[in-house]
């Protein structure tokens, strides 16, 4: 399970290994073993290690999720233009096929590792671990992870990031947060993107989209942005700088952070 | 769909338990899935019919128990049963709530036949 540290006992599974699981004999002689173990505990364990790596190298890791084509890469391009003099940026790109997105990022002078998942429609913590060892984390302040374009699966897999950002473009409809509650509930910041198109798409009401997000008990900021016109990017960039400051304060106190709705009971770190 | 990844992770855990319990085979696997876990029970069942082949759970039945969504209000303290896209407090209407049930993705229990049981019952 854990190649780097050699451990394979987690908070989540130790009761299995220690023979703690409750046993019950059914009438036909079968044994029923009661478990209560998170199905993704192995992924979550690896994610905890990834988070330790990021923290040890003072890196803030941000996971970007959205439908295909909502503007994740374009947002990264604008973000790099705005921040690259001030912060050192690295990017992990997840796509089913092609190196296109990584090449767009490299064209901006920023190092990018492309993960091509083939058939897997989301990134998982093991893929991120492989990718982060291809990077020099000491020369990075912010690591962006662009997840595979998919409004369903990415929300279920912790990667070791500190914060989640979910994008919704105005071409997708303002009811999406109600239809895909899991991924919007996971957001620490919701970006409504391509606001420049609102002029021609008058049936998208940003207030309705925001209200659908609030119905999910999400307190996170909802910002209206356009990577094309630059509208609202100041909100996004100042949030990001705030996150960088918070991360350096946390690190000076030896603390870390998980995205707001990290699965219940999940450990921040996998070992003390 | 990621249900296949989730199913494979589940089978890894089941095989680990089966090994430790000295199982001959696994007959039943019970998982608990909340509507906010992001896993569709029917798709998990479909994935299971494919993924179980060749494992110790090849003949096993998969039971998915769905949990209701329940939130606890951070403002007034009331608990309410709610819909996946409306997680507000039903008592005071506040959106600052915490999900207390409905987002779990758990392996609940594994039913198996032990190798040793068989030997135990066999006449010496
Ligand atoms: N008008 C407008 N178009 C945009 C904006 N942002 C992105 N686009 C366009 O939308 C298309 C998709 O943008 P990408 O940034 O590639 O989207 P993505 O989310 O990275 O897509 P995948 O990685 O394939 O999931 C491109 O043609 C972009 O130029 C915007 O703010 N306004
Ligand atoms: Mg992209
Ligand atoms: Zn490592
Ligand atoms: Zn470990
Ligand atoms: Zn999927
Ligand atoms: Zn209330």
Residue A252 is assigned to a structural domain of this protein: yes
Q: Give pLDDT tens digits along chain A (272 positions).
A: 344 444 544 444 444 444 445 677 666 678 999 988 999 999 999 999 999 999 999 999 999 999 999 999 999 999 999 999 999 999 999 999 999 999 999 999 999 999 998 887 899 999 999 999 999 999 999 999 999 999 999 999 999 999 999 999 999 999 999 999 999 999 999 999 999 999 999 899 999 999 999 999 999 999 999 999 999 999 999 999 999 999 999 999 999 999 876 544 333 444 43
Domain count within chain A: 1
Q: Tell me, which fold does domain B3-70+102-114 have in CATH?
A: hypothetical protein PF0899 fold (3.30.2320)
**Ligand 1 near A51 CB (within 6 A):** no
Q: Kindly report the nearest CA distance between residue A124 and chain B, in angstroms.
A: 10
**Which residue, among A267, A240, A268, A256, has the nearest Cα to A58 in the 3D structure?**
A256
- SS3 of chain A: helix, strand, coil, percent, to 5: 35, 20, 45
Closest CA to B60 of B7, B103, B104, B100: B7
- Does A33 reside within a domain? no
Residue A239's CATH number: 3.40.50.300
Residue A266 domain flag: no
> Would the CB atoms of B111 and A33 count as touching at under 8 Å?
yes
pTM of the model: 0.90
Give residue for tokens 């599974």.
Answer: A13
Evaluate whether residue A77 is within a structural domain.
yes
Six token digits for residue A17: 């290994």
Domain that holds residue A55: 41-261
Q: Which residue of A has its CA nearest to B96?
A: A217
Determine the residue of chain A that is closest to B5 in CA distance: A120
**b/e per residue, A91-129, with b = 16+ CB within 10 A?**
bbbbbeeeeebbebbeebebbbbbbebeebbbbbbbbbb
Is residue A170 situated within a structural domain? yes
How far does chain B reach from its first CA to its final CA, in angstroms? 51
């Amino acid at each position: 399970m854990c190649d780097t540290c050699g451990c394979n006992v987690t908070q989540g599974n130790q009761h299995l290994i220690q023979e703690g699981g409750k046993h019950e004999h059914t009438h036909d002689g079968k044994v029923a073993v009661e478990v209560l173990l998170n199905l993704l505990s192995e992924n979550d364990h690896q994610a905890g290690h990834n988070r330790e790596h990021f923290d040890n190298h003072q890196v803030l890791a941000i996971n970007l999720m959205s439908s295909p084509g909502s503007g994740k890469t374009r947002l990264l391009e604008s973000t790099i233009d705005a921040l690259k003099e001030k912060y050192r940026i690295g990017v992990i790109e997840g796509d089913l096929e092609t190196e296109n997105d990584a090449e767009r990022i490299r064209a901006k002078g920023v190092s990018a590792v492309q993960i091509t998942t083939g058939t897997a429609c989301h990134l998982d913590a093991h893929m991120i671990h492989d990718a982060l060892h291809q990077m020099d984390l000491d020369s990075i302040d912010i690591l962006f992870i662009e997840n595979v374009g998919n409004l369903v699966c990415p929300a279920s897999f912790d990667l070791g990031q500190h914060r989640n950002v979910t994008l919704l473009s105005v071409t997708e409809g303002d009811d999406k947060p109600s239809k895909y509650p899991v991924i919007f509930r996971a957001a620490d910041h919701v970006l409504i993107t391509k606001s420049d198109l609102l002029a021609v798409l008058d049936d998208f009401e940003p207030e309705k989209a925001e209200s659908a997000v609030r119905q999910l008990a999400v307190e996170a900021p909802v910002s209206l942005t356009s990577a094309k016109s630059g509208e609202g990017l100041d909100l996004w960039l100042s949030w990001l700088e705030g996150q960088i400051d918070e991360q350096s304060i946390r690190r000076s106190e030896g603390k870390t952070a998980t995205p707001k709705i990290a699965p219940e009971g999940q450990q921040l770190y996998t070992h003390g | 769909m990621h249900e296949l990844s989730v199913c494979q992770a589940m089978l890894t855990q089941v095989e680990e338990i089966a090994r430790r319990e000295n199982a001959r085979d696994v007959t039943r696997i019970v998982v608990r899935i909340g509507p906010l876990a992001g896993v569709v029970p029917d798709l998990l069942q479909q994935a299971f019919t494919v993924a179980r082949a060749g494992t110790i759970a090849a003949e096993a039945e998969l039971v998915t128990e769905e949990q209701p969504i329940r939130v606890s209000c951070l403002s007034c303290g009331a608990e309410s049963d709610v819909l996946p896209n409306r997680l507000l407090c039903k008592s005071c209407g506040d959106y600052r709530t915490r999900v207390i049930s409905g987002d779990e993705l758990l392996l609940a229990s594994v039913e198996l036949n032990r190798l040793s049981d068989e030997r135990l019952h066999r006449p010496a």
